[in-house]
Amino acid sequence: MRPRKAIQFMIKIENLVKAFGAKRAVDGISFNVERGEVVGFLGPNGSGKSTTMRMITGYYAPDSGRVSVGGHDVVESPLATKRLIGYLPENAAAYSDMTVQGFLDFAAELRGLSGSAKRNAVARAVDRCFLASVLHQCIDTLSKGYRHRTCLAQALIHEPEVLVLDEPTDGLDPNQKHEVRNLIKELGRSKAVVFSTHILEEVDASCTRAIIIDRGRIVAQGTPDELGRPLDEVFRRLTVPDTAAK
């Protein structure tokens, strides 16, 4: 049971807009995420999922609208919000010339950890993401699954209150997908989690709420049950395939 006090939203997004040239990638999105929620961000490719996440993490500045994380505005106090967030970017970017250990040490140091706190944090992240067997391997020699988990470990290293995961299961095999979904579910009990996907079964597997976006706008949101079944039919009805004439 969550204590029933005034809910403070961990992520609060109001009327977010971001345009690239003439194209409005994100066109007036608003939603909130509280602690203990796992929000699945669904949408076809190019619907604005990554752009929205990049604005939450402070990588892009919004054209208009507001994002606040843990009560701080991401534009006005970027350091405070970045400290609260763990972020897995799209395609799990990582420094390919570093070893897994070196990379996680680097991430921990930038998160302000040192000494035994750093060692413990790295050890915990390694444990959680099953990386012990590749610890001293160079990242560019890793398989896609390990590479992904290395980047996920980086996002978890400082026990963030907010997790933003851009396609966390992309390119993983079914076993790995299963593990990552369970991990997300577990993390969602104590944190606010937003993750994007275009795989519908994931919504059922780990979300408490799903938001479907299409061409930069929210077209539906609710628990998987509220959205209706079967989910893929709902999804197809609500979104426009990118093969359709504009």
Q: Which residues bind another protein (CB under 8 A)?
A: 54, 57-59, 79, 82-83, 85, 87, 89-91, 93-98, 102, 106-107, 109-112, 151, 154
**Of residues 96 and 190, the one with the C-beta less far from another protein:** 96
CB of 185 to another protein, least distance (A): 24
| Distance between CA atoms of residues 216 and 52, nearest Å | 9
Q: Are the beta carbons of 52 and 3 closer than 8 angstroms?
A: no
User: What distance in Å separates the CA atoms of residue 188 and residue 184, rounded to the nearest whole number?
Assistant: 6
8 A C-beta contact, residue 65 and residue 16: yes
Q: Which residues pair with 38 in a beta bridge?
A: 193
CB of 18 to another protein, least distance (A): 13
- Shortest distance in whole angstroms from residue 119 CB to another protein: 16
User: What is the sign of the dihedral through the CA atoms of 234, 237, 238 and 244?
Assistant: positive
Among residues 73 and 204, whose Cβ is nearest to another protein?
73
Pick the closer one to another protein by CB: 150 or 239.
150
Find the shortest distance in angstroms from Cβ 243 to another protein: 27
Rounded least distance, CB 246 to another protein, Å = 27
Q: Please, what is the minimum distance in Å from the beta carbon of residue 75 to another protein?
A: 12
Cβ closest to another protein, residue 31 vs residue 103: 103
Distance of closest approach, residue 236 Cβ to another protein, in angstroms = 30
Q: Which is nearer to another protein, 85 or 210 (CB)?
A: 85
Q: Which amino acid is at 86?
A: G
Tell whether the torsion through CA atoms of 106, 111, 116 and 120 is positive or negative.
Answer: negative
Residue type present at position 134: V
Residue 51 or 239: which CB sits closer to another protein?
51
φ, ψ of residue 87 to 5 degrees: the values are -130, 130
Distance CA 211, CA 156 (A): 23
Burial pattern 1-38, b for ≥16 Cβ within 10 A else e, equals eeeeeeeebbbbbeebbbeeeeebbbbebebbbbbebb
Nearer to another protein, 113 or 180 (CB): 113
Distant-in-sequence, close-in-space partners of 221: CB < 8 Å, separation ≥ 6: 31, 209, 210, 211, 212, 227
